[in-house]
Chain A
């Protein structure tokens, strides 16, 4: 049994398992990026050069903050604007050997909810989100913690609680 702070200090980003990273090349268009963001459900896209060299990141927040006004409604401009013009670069990265604590501290100090995960060569290995860390922790919660009714006054309407 470990305390949550032990887990954060001792478990590493690579312990979380596969961390899918939707990726596009820098010459892909804003239109393609939007489709990837909608379908990817990861909150961000990693922009890569060569197959695995991360050069930028484009997040849902970037869409709101950086998208020039006309791009909101003009299909033509979306299809002509390359992602390299609107992405954040360089991306904030974390090595997959780093502890979860370092990951959280990096997110907190840099103000990012997503970090690009790399190996020691700087090659892209995944995309780490705040939600990945929370899911990893809750997967390890003792069963009784989440089976208890959250509120003492809570009553179920049927004996099975269904």
Chain B
């Protein structure tokens, strides 16, 4: 195991670091896990300040969507149809993988051509633990938050981490 003091690689089970003598006892036991009574786990998304989503239509060009993401410093745009229903999601990664890498012209490609359809969504009543679990499992950086069929905001991994570290910016006080 790695000594947290000097970074010497010790044999597993060593009590003292063989390089600097630091007490290593207990360091390799691992965590006992998150306390199930931590109120953070049951806090629902309506207690968190969600970000306002950027929305575009499927016919918007990727070049326009990129300009919007750049101007508003966001990593994704949500795609809604004429009826205002959520139709898809376009992220920086979608643009890199589906437009830039295959050398498509962003001015000639529409968002509808390269977005992911039927994105995973969360409800405002969902607990933060469930949101974290979904984002962790699927490796998503952004998730739409719905109230019924209406898109009311989105949750980014950065917002989640800000809430968890107790930043006042992300939370609505109980």
Contact = CB atoms under 8 A, between A and B. Distances in A.
Instruction: Give the interface size bracket for A toward B.
Output: 35 or more
Contacts of A12: 4
A142 B101 contact: no
Interface stretch (A3-11, A21-29, A49-57, A80-88): A3-11
Contacts, number: 149
B103 A73 contact: yes
Contact of A142 (B34, B100, B126, B130): B34
A130 B164 CA distance: 12
A141 B157 CA distance: 17
A63 interface: yes
A123 to B, nearest CB: 10
Given A113-B158, A134-B136, A146-B130, A3 B4 contact: no
Contact of A1 (B34, B130, B165): B34
Contact of A146 (B73, B123, B133, B139): B133
B158 A130 contact: yes
Contacts of B129: 141, 145-146
Nearest to A74: B103
A3 B34 CA distance: 6
B34 A113 contact: no
Contacts of B166: 5
A144 interface: yes
Given A2-B31, A101-B165, A119-B7, A134 B157 contact: yes
A75 B104 CA distance: 11
Contacts of A131: 135-136, 139, 141, 157
B41 A145 contact: yes
B133 A138 contact: yes
Contacts of A144: 36
A162 interface: no
A61 B8 CA distance: 36
Contacts of A63: 92, 95-96, 100
Contacts of A146: 129-130, 133
B160 interface: yes
Given A4-B164, A60-B93, A151 B123 contact: yes
B132 interface: yes
Contact of B7 (A43, A61, A120, A140): A120
Given A38-B96, A141-B33, 4 more contacts: A131-B135, A138-B133, A140-B31, A145-B129
13 contacts: A1-B36, A3-B38, A63-B96, A64-B92, A101-B165, A105-B165, A113-B158, A120-B7, A137-B132, A141-B41, A145-B34, A146-B130, A151-B125
